Structure 1
Amino acid sequence: MYTIRSLKSLALLEAIEKPVKISSSEFKHHISASSKTAARVLKQLEEDGYIGRQLVAGGQMVQLTEAGVEILKREYTDYQQIFCREHEDLELYGHVITGLGEGQYYIAKEGYMSQFREKLDFRPFPGTLNVRLKDQSAQLRDNMDMIQPMVVHGFNDGERSFGGVKCYSVEIEGIKGAAIIPDRTHYPTDLLEIIAPLKLRETLDISDGDEVRIVVKNPQRCE
């Protein structure tokens, strides 16, 4: 009953970024409960692994763990699905994985590259960053269908034909790029390919298994 409310209250007190000192008599006001209940809730959150807690004079030092932050992220994605889903930017989380190694070949094709430069306003690094979306984000990816993509048309280079690609403007850890979804694809729906003007692995100093935050930009987002 108190888990989400308590974690949110602690997060608002900046307990994600650093340990914060709080007593049960203070915390009870944040969750509208008695001091006894507030003390029990903090103890339960610690036992569940959602917070780290150290008893000190006059209270305790409390900080959210990764598991606690993950609970709030899941709650946040649920609210994204409820409110303004057709207009807001879409926030996704996933882990970097090694792709099939085909990105460099396709991105470097002039038939694609010229359209990327024109429609995305940058020249992509010849390669893609592959991200395996976490469960909640994989479900949210369907909401990308509500965002108008930029379309890169298929072409024939004289030897073979290449299919079209849908592009969505994104920011990955603050760097502008694009998520690309080929028309001809057998990739699972929890996989996202990202292109950017930089080599993202080097620029962001990330490797397989690292978690990244991807914001899919909606040009018609609500105010």
Structure 2
Amino acid sequence: MKNYEVLYLLYLLARRGAHGKSIRLNSNSLAEDLKASPKTASRKLIELEALGYIGRKIDNKGQYVWITSKGLNLLKAFYQELRGLLEGGWEEIELGGKVFKGLGEGAYYVSLEHYRKEFLRKLGFDPFPGTLNLLLDRESVKKRRVLELLPGIEIEGFKDGLREYCSAKAFKAFIANKVKGAVLLIERTHYGPDVLEIISPYNLRKLLNLKDGDYVTVRVLLRND
């Protein structure tokens, strides 16, 4: 389940009062809010419970649900981030970090025809076969959380008969305040939240004369248009 799906489901439950107490919940009514089937709504609740964001109890009277402290902390963190965005009028954020040599997987994945078509159609460019990897500074790690909570531009995954390739989301960006590109948040990655993966139509290391350890800033656009 994607982060923004978790947040929306927690929001729906909180709106029903589950942030302060256990509530009786009918999956059919939740399904109406989600515009999904009761089976899908029930499955999402099970996933949310497995992630530790809600608690559930079922007895002969029905299903009872409450938001756990972990779920409340996620809602509060999102509220603080959203409040900062709205009150500050943010349309972009700036992240910064040091260049480092990655695992070498970026060139392979970015070169796959399906992803190339997705990037070209949704981002407007055919990327250089490789990613620029930044180890973010402490403040940028905090700011990066905003990207995790926003839907971004969906880059769809695919299957080729042998394996399944995961989806990602992207945000258009300007590297070193002048070169266009995008940052990628990949659904399954070996990296933690302190790493930012960047693509561009250009070889950024060569164009910007970058070497490992150089500090680079990235202006990330929060709007999709």
TM-score range, shorter chain: 0.5 to 0.7
Distance change >3 Å, CA 131–CA 84, structure 1 → 2: farther
CA distance in 1 between counterparts of 2:171 and 2:91 reads 14
1:207-218 matched pairs, under 5 angstroms: 207-218=211-222
The answer to whether the aligner puts 1:166 opposite 2:169 as a matched pair is: yes
1:187 to 168, 188, 191: 191
The answer to whether the aligner puts 1:89 opposite 2:95 as a matched pair is: no
The secondary structure found in structure 1 opposite 2:143 is helix
The secondary structure found in structure 1 opposite 2:147 is helix
CA distance in 2 between counterparts of 1:81 and 1:209 reads 31
Task: Write the deviation string for residues 99-133 of structure 1: whole angstroms up to 9, x where unpaired.
Answer: 00000111111111111110000000010000000
The answer to whether the aligner puts 1:132 opposite 2:135 as a matched pair is: yes
Gap runs ≥5 in structure 1:
1-79
**How far is 1:84 from its partner?**
3.7
Q: After the TM superposition, which segments of 4 or more aligned residues of structure 1 sit over 3 Å from their partners?
A: 80-87, 145-148
**How far is 1:195 from its partner?**
0.2
1:157 to 139, 142, 160: 160
What residue identity is the alignment partner of 1:185?
Answer: T
Whether the 8 Å contact between 1:87 and 1:220 is mirrored in structure 2 is no
Which residue pairs with 1:113 in the alignment?
116
Distance change >3 Å, CA 82–CA 107, structure 1 → 2: closer
Q: Percent identity?
A: 39
1:122 to 117, 121, 125: 125
TM-score (norm 2): 0.59
2:102 to 88, 93, 99: 99
Whether the 8 Å contact between 1:154 and 1:163 is mirrored in structure 2 is yes
CA distance in 1 between counterparts of 2:188 and 2:180 reads 25
Distance change >3 Å, CA 102–CA 220, structure 1 → 2: closer
2:208 to 204, 207, 210: 204
**How far is 1:148 from its partner?**
3.5
**How far is 1:81 from its partner?**
4.9
RMSD between aligned residues = 2.3
**How far is 1:88 from its partner?**
2.7
CA distance in 1 between counterparts of 2:199 and 2:87 reads 27
CA distance in 2 between counterparts of 1:82 and 1:110 reads 36
CA distance in 1 between counterparts of 2:90 and 2:164 reads 35
CA distance in 2 between counterparts of 1:154 and 1:85 reads 34
The secondary structure found in structure 2 opposite 1:119 is helix
Q: Computing the radius of gyration over CA atoms, which structure comes out larger, 1 or 2?
A: 1
CA distance in 1 between counterparts of 2:85 and 2:201 reads 34
**Matched pairs, number:** 143
1:36-115 matched pairs, under 5 angstroms: 81=84, 84=87, 87-115=90-118
What residue identity is the alignment partner of 1:175?
Answer: V
What residue identity is the alignment partner of 1:89?
Answer: E
What residue identity is the alignment partner of 2:211?
Answer: S
Task: Write the deviation string for residues 193-217 of structure 1: whole angstroms up to 9, x where unpaired.
Answer: 0000000000000110000010111
CA distance in 1 between counterparts of 2:115 and 2:224 reads 26
CA distance in 2 between counterparts of 1:193 and 1:208 reads 14
Which residue pairs with 1:144 in the alignment?
147
Whether the 8 Å contact between 1:92 and 1:214 is mirrored in structure 2 is yes
Task: Write the deviation string for residues 19-65 of structure 1: whole angstroms up to 9, x where unpaired.
Answer: xxxxxxxxxxxxxxxxxxxxxxxxxxxxxxxxxxxxxxxxxxxxxxx
**How far is 1:181 from its partner?**
1.2
Distance change >3 Å, CA 122–CA 136, structure 1 → 2: same
